[in-house]
Structure 1
Amino acid sequence: MPEIKPLSPEIKKRVLQMQQNELTEYHIYTKVAGFVKNPENKATLLKIANEEHRHYQIWETFTKEKVQPIQWKVWWYTFLSVIFGYTFALKLMEGNEGDAAYNYEDIAAEIPQAQKIAEDEERHEQKLLAILDEERLQYVGSMVLGLNDALVELTGTLAGLTLALQNTKLIALSGLITGVSATLSMASSEFLSARSEGREDAFKSCVYTGIAYCITVALLVLPYLVFDDEHYLHALGTMLVTVVLIILVFTYYISVAKDLDFKKRFWEMALISLSVAAFSFVIGLLVKEALGIDI
């Protein structure tokens, strides 16, 4: 093996950072693999983890120093894999390596193996795209159906009731009754639709739809339970902010997990939901005046 020349201070500093990243990702892949039930996916993740460790050892031969993994990253991506699934967590981690190729190319002048490691990293990503087939992502369509319908229907309903009733408790009561009824209706419709298509997963599909709808209902009604009767407009404003946040988080999740355009989907969902809310708000005001209701 040819003699390894000492690295320049700047390159050594960057290689140490790359070395630490490889070791950190080795621990992340290993821990995430422990949660994966599919034996093929588990084996592939462990293989990638071993390659990450091999890369770490290569960097160590050049830096001649040992490093420790970034523990908060190991904890964070493991936590994300448990809550949101390993597809989202690992794709998010891979996406955050945006500068990796640049770093590899930049240090290749002093470490020829850098280019090979860059090619290995690209192969890692392709393997991930091939193996990540979580059950929850198979039902993204059902979750989107429940979420979209709840956002559009309940946002409009609550906005209209806010001006018509001007009483947070009555609005919350009406919203909960509407939300629970709509949840059962949407879940049963999804079940019947899936059954009519001959799908064996009809029940799971309706469960995912119902859960997405139910969670959305709870989050949108919550502001009306928090604010008192005199601050119904504050509750409305908080509810609209909640709508935008739900759309933001869910769209980001789907965009990362399914490699979709984030901005387009976010603005599309936000525009529809807020437009319906504005229209319903005006309708509520007109109905209140037309019927002469004063609560």
Structure 2
Amino acid sequence: MGIIELNSKILEAQRAELTEAKVYYRVADFEKDKKNKELLLQIAKGEERQSEIWESYTKQEVQPYRWKVPLYVFIIRCFGLTFGIKLLERDAHKGIETYRAMRSDFPEAEEMYQREKEYEDKLIEVLKDKPLSYLGSIILGLNDALVELTGVLAGLTLGIQNSFLIAAVGLITGISAAFSMAGSEYLSTKTENSGKVKPLTAAFYTGTAYIITVIALIVPYLIIDNVFIALLITLCTAVAIIGGFNYYVSIAKGTPFRKHFLEMVLISLGVATISFFIGLIVNRVFNINV
């Protein structure tokens, strides 16, 4: 590794460490959980110390990546502490590879590499994140809404062939099912009585996930007259929701993305296809023209 390239990598590592420190400090400012706050401050100070070590070599002051700090703070506020921190740490793996490449040139590189790994492991063990505690409830609402409503809308598309009527029936069906699922989740959680989750909160997450999914799926029928184009967009929306949700889970929980994504897509589209042909049969048998 040449001197110029090496110096550039050190400056990059120095700036990356400072950026991560700033993110942790900002998140610690609004974190309400006392243990989480203490851990975040500890990690921030560690990242700051590592940046100072690199500064002792470069003899230069650097500024954090300005766009990264507000971006990650925004992500954490919107999607939860665990998801945002793990996304940040995944980005930091590039820095870890830099340390690994510089071991022979700087003895501190090995120590810093090990420290980065310890920080990440500690975060995974200790962080408490409310959305993750209710992830099962969110999955229940989201998955049921995707499977049931894509099936209903696909069946109605051929059975009725009136976009506004399909949207109305889908909305009524979806909201009714959302309340039903929320009630079932409340009773199920209360019966289990594990103490880890509150039944009312679990029901709220299930119902909310269901209703949001319902609205996203019926919107195409409200703005497009051609029911077949509307159905196609609805199915694409369902796939996009499945992709986004599974990406979130894969980062936050460390689960494989592709396997779960394909599984949910096959189930949702499979049910929609069967329902589509059921709608075709109903339309032919009863000669429905709306």
2:161 maps to which of 157, 166, 173: 166
Task: Indicate whether 1:33 and 2:25 are aligned.
Answer: no
Task: Indicate whether 1:83 and 2:107 are aligned.
Answer: no
Task: Indicate whether 1:21 and 2:31 are aligned.
Answer: no
The amino acid across from 1:184 in the alignment is: F
The amino acid across from 2:175 in the alignment is: V
Distance 1:14 1:259 in 2: 29
1:123 maps to which of 118, 124, 149: 118
The amino acid across from 2:217 in the alignment is: L
Q: Could you tell me how far 1:79 is from its partner in structure 2?
A: 0.4
Q: Could you tell me how far 1:101 is from its partner in structure 2?
A: 2.9
The amino acid across from 2:139 in the alignment is: V
> How many correspondences in the alignment?
287
Distance 2:261 2:34 in 1: 35
Q: Could you tell me how far 1:196 is from its partner in structure 2?
A: 2.0
The amino acid across from 1:129 in the alignment is: I
Distance 2:130 2:100 in 1: 38
Give 1:112's aligned residue: 107
Give 2:231's aligned residue: 236
Distance 1:207 1:188 in 2: 9
Length-normalised TM-score, structure 2: 0.96
Change (3 A) 1:105 1:199: closer
1:144-164 Cα shifts (integer Å, max 9, x gaps): 011110000000000110111
Task: Indicate whether 1:204 and 2:201 are aligned.
Answer: yes
Question: Is this contact kept in 1: 2:16–2:95, CA < 8 A?
Answer: no
Give 1:255's aligned residue: 250
1:154-209 Cα shifts (integer Å, max 9, x gaps): 00000110111111100000000000110111001111112222356111111110
2:139 maps to which of 120, 141, 144: 144
Distance 1:74 1:99 in 2: 17
Change (3 A) 1:30 1:174: same
Distance 2:192 2:35 in 1: 30
Identify unmatched segments of 5+ residues in structure 1. Answer: 1-6
The amino acid across from 1:54 in the alignment is: R
Give the match's secondary structure for 2:67: helix
Distance 2:288 2:35 in 1: 64
Distance 1:262 1:107 in 2: 32
1:189 maps to which of 184, 192, 206: 184
Distance 1:159 1:187 in 2: 24
Distance 1:102 1:88 in 2: 22
1:51 maps to which of 21, 46, 49: 46
Give the match's secondary structure for 1:209: helix
Give 1:224's aligned residue: 221
Give 1:279's aligned residue: 274
Q: Could you tell me how far 1:233 is from its partner in structure 2?
A: 1.1
The amino acid across from 1:214 in the alignment is: I
**% identity of equivalent residues:** 47
Q: Could you tell me how far 1:143 is from its partner in structure 2?
A: 0.5
The amino acid across from 1:165 in the alignment is: I
Distance 1:44 1:100 in 2: 21
The amino acid across from 2:210 in the alignment is: Y
Q: Could you tell me how far 1:274 is from its partner in structure 2?
A: 0.5
Q: Could you tell me how far 1:294 is from its partner in structure 2?
A: 1.6
Moved more, 145-154 or 31-40: 31-40
Distance 2:94 2:193 in 1: 47
Q: Could you tell me how far 1:86 is from its partner in structure 2?
A: 1.1
Distance 2:125 2:194 in 1: 24
Question: Is this contact kept in 1: 2:20–2:47, CA < 8 A?
Answer: yes
Task: Indicate whether 1:65 and 2:60 are aligned.
Answer: yes
Distance 1:25 1:169 in 2: 49
Distance 2:263 2:236 in 1: 16
1:112-137 Cα shifts (integer Å, max 9, x gaps): 11111111111110110112221111
Identify unmatched segments of 5+ residues in structure 2. Answer: none
